[in-house]
Chains A and B, each alone.
With several copies, the nearest count.
Chain A
């Protein structure tokens, strides 16, 4: 067991899989130029020392090109890990991700495998509208993709390893404020959770949610940074005697419906929290699933807490207002408990 930050856990996960399987390689912008950053958030920092620059491949600034190249390499039998520096740039590669990676297997009649990992940092960090988005909903909606969003070091390592071994395109969302990156590229308001990570090989399979805190009065389902905001809210509410259960789906597609339904069968109240925009966001599907399949468990309407439906503003005062915090989560919990 070692204590690791998420950035270390991701790096070690990649390292182990690259050792295990020589078809695994990374490509992306500035991912390990000598003297450089090791990727925008240092996930790949230093990996070229062990694996060389062929397997830690720095690219031109060409998101469509490199995602396309990753798909092609996967077709040729490799297992590429491709990244964008900020999730917002996924839009530049959108055709390759949604029309190609997600559909080629199906278009081939199920014969072509696309073992591809795509990494994308998300979350608002006072950089304005084009470096701030949480993009989960867009990609959960694309049949053919798997989408994961680890929020702990243990999951980060176990899930990226599972993603690398998957024969399908997997998009992994990483939260900028959870990395715990060090040095020049650390983030001011970062939470930097560290956690125990086993030394031996393990994977965290997709489709299984984690219960981060047990409680009996209300269920909060939250992902990425919002898991921590929800835990903070739960902590504070506990003092008032409100016992909150916090569920972290970790794997968004496939989604662990059962864990959610089991929890609300117990608590009868549901609050959905995310950093993505409210309207047509990730949480809409969760609310819809409940409305369709589990509405009788509930004693009150569901409540969503999400980023307000505006582009993310720069000024911290406004950004903080747009992005959910423990305060808003607590208010939502109180609302559903009335």
Chain B
């Protein structure tokens, strides 16, 4: 971690992306932030059941990773899925309705906050067992490779997940079978309350992972452009049949691990450093400084997103409650088809 806090991110202009795409990236980051803030508010009001694991502060990782992907590239996500879902193009309507447990929710109210997903957008229902999405993601990549497509699979997971056996087994399969897979480790330095330094024997997760025999990188996950640049190369590798890539994106939660966690276990300097580097603020600044978007264009996006989030809440509230008996359907696919 640098000592002098840099508020600069990688050059926005040098990406070659036009302002439409950059604007869309900004919009998605903002959408994530505002959606999550709204969910938090609703949760504290007692409007939502269960628990929440939020990703404010980690928006750059999700958006920088997903912007190059198509709907038919698949991702796996985790107990903290909202950012990835939004970055991958899911609608706030379908997500918010799910949070309210409604039939119009992306999982018809059966999934909830930890299982958001939508196959139309290539989002496998989020897997809330830490690490378990990794081999599944490798399997998706295997399927895509066998089908001789150019599609790829991307797995999101946290720093804590790398100590799970499933991670180990899954990433190794991607290497030995040279699969079109990308592993995005969101290193926010904590697995729940436990600091990364207590649970792995290397400085970075990339060091720990390189020995599987694949390209690895550690980068500033609050720099959406750094994420984008790195993922872009990984996407090319995957689509060209050159195998998997591992990218460690260092980032930070601006919220607790779940619900009302006050983060009392965090290291103060570390927290101060990271909280001062809000990925949305950094990106906004860069967009304006490099003149890719004007202040007023950005404000327009901000206004739109605010409205969109409000609309999603209104929509969700008005959606249909499931009937109790709806619980009984959807267990098997065959049954639904009458075989």
Task: List A residues at the B interface (Cβ < 8 Å).
Answer: 23, 25, 29-30, 33-37, 54-55, 57-78, 80, 88-89, 92, 95-96, 99-100, 104-115, 125-131, 143-144, 146, 166-168, 184, 188, 308-311, 313-322
Residues of B within 8 A of A33 (CB): 193-195, 265
A107 to B110, CA, bound (A): 6
Check if B326 sits within 8 Å of A318, measured CB to CB: yes
Check if B110 sits within 8 Å of A72, measured CB to CB: no
Check if B114 sits within 8 Å of A321, measured CB to CB: no
A161 to B246, CA, bound (A): 38
A320 to B49, CA, bound (A): 12
Check if A73 sits within 8 Å of B330, measured CB to CB: no
Residues of A within 8 A of B163 (CB): 60-62, 65
Number of A-B contacts (CB under 8 A): 304
A-contact bits for B11-55, CB 8 A (1 contact / 0 none):
000000000000000000000000000000000000001110000
A70 to B173, CA, bound (A): 11
Residues of A within 8 A of B170 (CB): 64-65, 68-69
A70 to B139, CA, bound (A): 6
A68-B139, A76-B140 known; A318 vs B324 contact (CB < 8 Å): yes
Residues of A within 8 A of B166 (CB): 64-65, 68, 92, 95-96
9 pairs across A/B with beta carbons < 8 Å? A25-B146, A35-B266, A95-B129, A100-B127, A110-B336, A112-B119, A126-B112, A313-B327, A315-B49
Task: List B residues at the A interface (Cβ < 8 Å).
Answer: 49-51, 74, 98, 101-102, 105-115, 117, 119, 124-125, 127-132, 134-144, 146-147, 151, 153, 160-161, 163-166, 168-170, 172-173, 176-177, 191-195, 198-200, 259-266, 321-334, 336-337, 339
A82 to B189, CA, bound (A): 24
A166 to B127, CA, bound (A): 23
Residues of A within 8 A of B173 (CB): 59-60, 62, 65-66, 69
A27 to B73, CA, bound (A): 23
Smallest CB separation, A105 vs chain B (Å): 6
Check if B191 sits within 8 Å of A78, measured CB to CB: no
Check if A76 sits within 8 Å of B50, measured CB to CB: no
A70-B139, A100-B129 known; A308 vs B334 contact (CB < 8 Å): no
